[in-house]
Amino acid sequence: MTEIKSTSVFERIDEIMPGVFLSGGRAVKVASIRKFEITCVINTAVELPHLPIPCLQCIKIPLSDSVYVDIRRHFDYVLNKINEIVDNGGRVLVHCVAGASRSATFILAYLMKFHGLNLREAYIFVKSKRSIIQPNFGFFRQLIEFEREIFGLESVKFVYSESSRTFIPDVVESELKEQLSKYKRLGIASNIKHRYAGSITQPICSFYVSAPRPITHCRLSIFLLQEKVQTCS
């Protein structure tokens, strides 16, 4: 019987580029922070407490992973902070619960603002470093607006997807279609397709994130299912 290591990705810190790291909450441990010589941790999840490590700069941006959250209003502060730390030879870890939506959104915006990548290029690049990134569609809309503000153009557009029956960013269309096809073959509930459109209401799987004190349980169904699908394929 094949063992499904459903949480492996959440134990990992991924280096997106020199000095810039992305992870979920489970990976934020003292040993990992020291291993990667992280000097600043930016916690973007309202659910998660800081990891108390002496001599470590900890920044809290308490955001929910909701399509209705205004994440863009934090762009200037967070992006400038990341750039400042890297320019001064530091190493910064940006994380949320899964390391897929909130924290990934900040990394994508950072690459656009300070490295000249358009949104499509940034998404493909970060996806190659951390395969589970999937900003919710509300965050994607704000990233598109941010891209238009910086470059005067849009490299990503919302298109109607017949398979998911909603408007989605075209850059995720093929992967979402493939995921839904695999879920269908496995008999997994179809409403999982709306996870990032903001309409899913019931979790399929959940787990507790390791933290210095108990925290609320976190819905990470689609990511756990992605690993299950990859294992079963």
> Active-site positions?
96
Q: Are 61 and 42 in contact (CB under 8 A)?
A: yes
Q: Are 125 and 133 in contact (CB under 8 A)?
A: no
Sheet with 20-23, strands from edge to edge, namely 13-17, 20-23, 92-95, 40-45, 57-63
Q: Are 119 and 144 in contact (CB under 8 A)?
A: yes
The dihedral over CA atoms of 127, 47, 76, 126, expressed in degrees to the nearest 10, equals -10
What CA–CA distance (Å, rounded) separates 182 from 231?
Answer: 11
Q: Please provide residue 138's backbone torsions phi and psi, each rounded to the nearest 5 degrees.
A: -65, -40
